[in-house]
A and B are shown apart, each in its own frame.
Chain A
């Protein structure tokens, strides 16, 4: 059974810092990996999808990487802003299986 771990569970940084969120998974036989953002009391909003054949995806200030062989993905946020404060979750998508990490709660202080 796929297990997904996100470290750290919570992170607080001053505005303007670059930061990295980590996601690790135990089974490298995956189709895709997806990063989501969740604001308090809301559903999940997709940020980036990396297919298993890709190494990274970029969208604006966000860059996600994938290393299947080591079972790791990172989400890099450049020049963080208070509006980036949210919980970030990764989801590992395999054959008829989708597993989520518990998330990293990010706070960006003005």
Chain B
């Protein structure tokens, strides 16, 4: 079974802090994604990556950056967290046009 692991399930951070959300997949997938999910807005794509050291902006990249130094790991970085970044963050990896999700990371910025 494909496993996509998000190391932090619940985080509370202060405004202005730098936040790292880590995601690891164990199936050697090339494609990895970060989404955020908010009530009434569905899933919105933040960034995606098709290969190591490669990244592409999604629909809402502002305030975020990403890092893909190894194939299995895709990190989402909030350089200076703000309260409007309070959300559920979902990592995914894909293969042959089917996508697998992690359990999600709930981030609260206070």
B42 touches A103 (CB 8 A): yes
Secondary structure dominating the interface of A: strand
Docked complex Cα distance between A100 and B41 (Å)? 10
B42 touches A101 (CB 8 A): yes
> Out of B4, B42, B90, B99, which one reaches A102, CB within 8 Å?
B42
B-chain residues with CB within 8 Å of residue A45 when the two chains form the complex: 101
A44 touches B98 (CB 8 A): no
Do A34 and B104 form a contact, CB below 8 Å, given A100-B42, A101-B42, A102-B41? no
Do A43 and B99 form a contact, CB below 8 Å, given A89-B43, A98-B45? no
B-chain residues with CB within 8 Å of residue A103 when the two chains form the complex: 42
Secondary structure dominating the interface of B: strand
Docked complex Cα distance between A3 and B4 (Å)? 27
Do A102 and B40 form a contact, CB below 8 Å, given A41-B106, A43-B90, A44-B90? yes
Chain B residues in the interface with A (C-beta under 8 A): 4, 33, 35, 40-43, 45, 88, 90, 92, 94, 97-104, 106
Chain A residues in the interface with B (C-beta under 8 A): 31-32, 34, 36, 41-46, 49, 89, 91, 93, 98, 100-103
Given A31-B97, A89-B43, A102-B41, 4 additional A-B pairs, CB 8 A: A46-B98, A46-B100, A89-B42, A98-B45
Identify 7 residue pairs between A and B in the complex whose beta-carbon atoms are under 8 Å apart, listed by A's number: A43-B90, A43-B102, A45-B101, A89-B42, A93-B99, A98-B33, A101-B42
